[in-house]
Amino acid sequence: MRHRDAIDAVVAGMVDQFSHIWASRKEVRIRCLVERYEEIQELIDALREDARQATESLRALAEKTGEEYIGEVLVNGPEFRAYTRDQQKILRDIADELGQLVTRSQPDTSANRPHLLHSILGVDLNKRWD
């Protein structure tokens, strides 16, 4: 391999030359996820504002009739849960893009592996907490 050093230099140059493309694509993906998260947050804020306004209008109506309105209008449950679920998925996707998710491995439960013993130090389990 007479030209091995020259080939390695060219390959290294190509990797350096195109490394910014990978980073910019990742940045675009993260930016899109963040924008979607913010859009969902605006929808959640709108749901909360609608509930607050409905509560205020019910209190005003109760004052006109001489009654007292103690309750509070709740945020629309199904929509709110769907939006928060979407936000959690987006945050998980962002963490995955940034490499911050912890990989979960399955424990080896085969018979040839000794069982693990977990101990908690500094805790007296016999102590009563009455």
pLDDT at 98: 83
Of 102 and 89, the one with more pLDDT:
89
Tell me how many domains the chain contains.
1
Quick count: other Cβ atoms within 10 Å of Cβ 90? 19
- Owning domain of residue 46: 4-97
Residue 120 lies in a domain: no
Mean pLDDT of the 19-41 span:
82
Residue-wise pLDDT for 40-91, tens only, equals 999 999 999 999 998 888 888 888 888 877 788 888 788 999 999 999 999 9
Tell whether the model's pLDDT for residue 124 goes beyond 80.
Answer: no
Question: What does the alpha-carbon distance between residue 93 and residue 99 come to, in Å, rounded to a whole number?
Answer: 10
Residue 127 lies in a domain: no
